[in-house]
Chains A and B, each alone.
Chain A
């Protein structure tokens, strides 16, 4: 394989007394879909936040395209081509869809040398990107607060896909989506991966992970069980790893294998 685009080396993150990450190492390659799996509170969101410049790791090193990277603010990561859909979406309900879509990345048009927000362009792109994801908006000026949970999630994903030039990080992007929108998202992941973009995909759904994942890293209580390549693990093994234990096996029996 080629050079990894992001190398995370023994990343540790402490929040006061809480050790959220206790030394996690993962390499992300261009053109792969890297699934991050793990139980609630395992540290997945914290891990990707160190990647997208939201948190500074307490210890450890991050290399971006071979160079040590020091993203002080999310903006730096964004400028480097890393776009993130956070679990809590980072959308502002009071603002319109297109204002949200371009938040922090506003397109400008110079009139008499003064840069103005190019609303026309922003509205057009927003509508087009949303249509691609299978959502029809009333208009680009509709407030995000009037959208359903899944529609909001779709806006966040469309935004990240639009801006993720090199790396696309998705933190549980399908948790609120309907069947059609979910398959849209999975298809989009597949599409951008083929364009050579690295995708980091967090999910609690083994089937979604298996549908698009090339490699799987399982986190458990702040450390990693290691990374498995597609074909090396069975869905059952993966599910056991994700749950971090055996009790699931008994549960699964009583639920008729629906988990």
Chain B
């Protein structure tokens, strides 16, 4: 008799799967397909509009980077099983905080930025603490913070300066050592060299004659890339990443297995607030002012990017790379329609269609991977 136990290498019940299939069946597939689709669309319709020139690149690249910065935070938080609806208000609040501290109170800008980061991250931690301790849905708790933070953002500048926009940040940031980390540009030398070498266009007249049309990569883009890399490695390559998945997958089971679920969730709320503050600081440095209505609806844009990227709304599943692709789709579509000369209201239609298609594809893929019903 030969009733051999099947070896792991050759269990007859396990169908050989092609490499291609294995490579395709991943959480980011929806995002990848969406990206390909969007780029194909614009290459066909707007190729000669300057969308793919260096300035065009910079244009939608910067917008995508903005989305990506908040999407990374929202992504990790969503995988940990929670939402943050106060991201947009936090952006407004953080910007206003920098302006009030730096301009009205006259603190050095670096100090205003540092204080704002500490303050906002603590507020994020507070909403996380309330969610974890009360067991209320984060949807409700952060909805409360959406109103609270926005309320302060409108009230404080009116109280102090009798207006809702505080300017003068550019002057205050002059010569500051920390501000360029958010508002500056890097690789200027490279672009000058590219311009001299004739690889990119240079201004042919005016005061900047001979200078390249693109004079550097905004720090905003660098922040986005750093946050994406950090988030991706944290999630997939560290033990903390495993705890993020576990906390969102089933908090009770994770707790019973020794995962410090509460700490993980609170830290993710803090990280989301941190990302919102990065966004706000870059924006304030770029505009030179802070406005009470900044960041409106950003929380939804972040969540949409994350969902296009393949994350599960109920937590425990998702990918930072996917969220970054979601942000890219968002940025390219928003700016691309402008380049293509299409009515901007169609942006919403297009976005809705992409969102729906990506999510349908993602749901299908996820079922394949996880056996979810």
Contact = CB atoms under 8 A, between A and B. Distances in A.
On whether the two chains bind one another, the answer is yes
Interface of A: 52, 54, 73-75, 78, 84, 86, 88-95, 99, 102-106, 108, 115-117, 119, 127, 131, 134, 136-138, 143, 145-147
A5 B239 CA distance: 31
A179 to B, nearest CB: 14
A119 B8 CA distance: 19
A117 B14 CA distance: 28
Given A93-B370, A94-B312, A143-B370, A86 B237 contact: no
A182 B264 CA distance: 36
A108 B242 CA distance: 12
A117 B249 contact: no
A190 to B, nearest CB: 20
Nearest to A91: B253
A6 B260 CA distance: 25
Contacts of A93: 249-250, 370-372
A138 B258 CA distance: 27
19 contacts: A74-B257, A84-B256, A90-B253, A90-B257, A92-B245, A92-B254, A93-B250, A94-B372, A95-B245, A102-B242, A103-B246, A103-B258, A108-B239, A116-B237, A116-B238, A136-B7, A138-B11, A143-B369, A143-B371
A147 B239 CA distance: 24
Interface in B311-325: 312, 316-317
B256 A74 contact: yes
Given A74-B256, A90-B252, A131-B8, 14 more contacts: A75-B259, A90-B257, A92-B253, A103-B259, A104-B257, A105-B257, A116-B237, A116-B238, A117-B242, A119-B237, A136-B8, A138-B14, A146-B371, A147-B371
A127 B316 contact: no
Contacts of A104: 243, 246, 254, 257-259
Central interface residue in B14, B252, B259, B317, by most chain A CB within 10 Å? B259
Interface in B345-373: 369-372
Nearest to B251: A92
A132 B369 CA distance: 25
Given A73-B260, A75-B260, A92-B249, A117 B239 contact: yes
Contact of A89 (B6, B253, B254, B372): B253
Nearest to A109: B237
B41 to A, nearest CB: 33
Nearest to B5: A134
Interface in B13-45: 14
B253 A75 contact: no
Interface in B257-310: 257-260
A102 B246 CA distance: 11
